[in-house]
Chains A and B, each alone.
Chain A
Amino acid sequence: MTEIWAQAALWLGLALIASLVSIWLRIATALSEIVVGTIAQLFIGAALGSAILAGDATWIKFLSGAGAILLTFLAGAELDPMVLRREWKQAIAIGLVSFAAPFLGCAAVARWGLGWSTDASWLAGVAMSTTSVAVVYAVMLEFGLNKTDYGKTVLAACFITDLATVVALGLIFAPFTVKTLVFLGAGTVTFLVLPWLIPRFFRRYGNRPSELEAKLLMLCLFGLGALATWADSEAVLPAYLLGMVLAGTVGKDHALVRRLRTLTFGLLTPFYFIRAGALVSLPALVAAPAAFVVLLFVKMAAKVTGVYPVTRAYRSPRQEGIYTTLLMSTGLTFGTISALFGLSHDLIDQAQYSALVAAVIASAVVPTLIANAFFLPRHLLQSDEAPQADPAATTAAHVRRSS
Chain B
Amino acid sequence: MIKKILVGYDGSAAAAQAFDFALDFTRRYSAELHVLAVARPPEFGTEVETEAVVESSRRHYGHLLKPLKARMATESIQAKFEITIGHPADQILRYAERHGIDHIVVGHRGHSIFEHWLLGSVARQVIAHAPCPVTVVRR
Chain A interface residues toward B at CB < 8 A: 22, 24-31, 71, 74-75, 78, 132-135, 137-138, 141-142, 254, 258, 261, 264-265, 330, 332-334, 364-365, 368-369, 372-373, 376-380, 383, 389, 393-403
Contacts and interface: CB of A to CB of B under 8 A. Distances in A.
A29 B132 CA distance: 38
Interface in B80-129: 84-87, 89-91, 93-94, 97, 112-115, 118-119, 125, 127-129
Interface in B19-64: 21, 40-52, 54-55
Given A332-B46, A403-B13, A396 B21 contact: no
Q: Nearest 6 CB-CB pairs, A to B?
A: A142-B86, A377-B90, A134-B50, A75-B47, A141-B85, A138-B41
Contacts of A28: 42-46, 49-50
A377 B93 contact: yes
Given A27-B42, A132-B45, A403-B13, A377 B50 contact: no
B133 A394 contact: yes
A265 B118 contact: no
A252 to B, nearest CB: 13
Contact of B51 (A25, A137, A332, A395): A137
Given A26-B40, A376-B119, A401-B137, A138 B45 contact: yes
Contacts of B94: 379
Contact of A135 (B50, B114, B130, B135): B50
Contact of A261 (B48, B131, B132): B48
A395 B114 contact: no
Contacts of A30: 46, 49
Contacts of A78: 47-48, 51
Given A264-B48, A402-B139, 5 more contacts: A31-B46, A134-B46, A377-B90, A379-B93, A394-B132
Given A28-B42, A138-B85, A396-B136, A403 B17 contact: yes
A265 B41 contact: no
Nearest to B14: A403
A379 B43 CA distance: 19
A333 B47 contact: yes
13 contacts: A22-B42, A26-B115, A132-B45, A135-B45, A141-B85, A142-B84, A376-B90, A377-B90, A378-B90, A393-B131, A393-B133, A394-B127, A401-B17
B134 interface: yes
B138 interface: yes
B50 A380 contact: no
Interface of B: 13, 17, 21, 40-52, 54-55, 84-87, 89-91, 93-94, 97, 112-115, 118-119, 125, 127-139
Which of the listed residues B54, B86, B131 has the most CB atoms from chain A within 10 Å of its own CB?
B86
A75 B138 contact: no
A26 B127 contact: no
Given A28-B46, A368-B43, A383-B129, A403 B139 contact: yes
Contacts of B54: 138, 141
A46 to B, nearest CB: 28
B46 A333 contact: yes
Given A137-B51, A394-B130, A401 B138 contact: yes
Given A135-B50, A377-B90, A142 B85 contact: yes
A249 B70 CA distance: 36
B44 A31 contact: yes
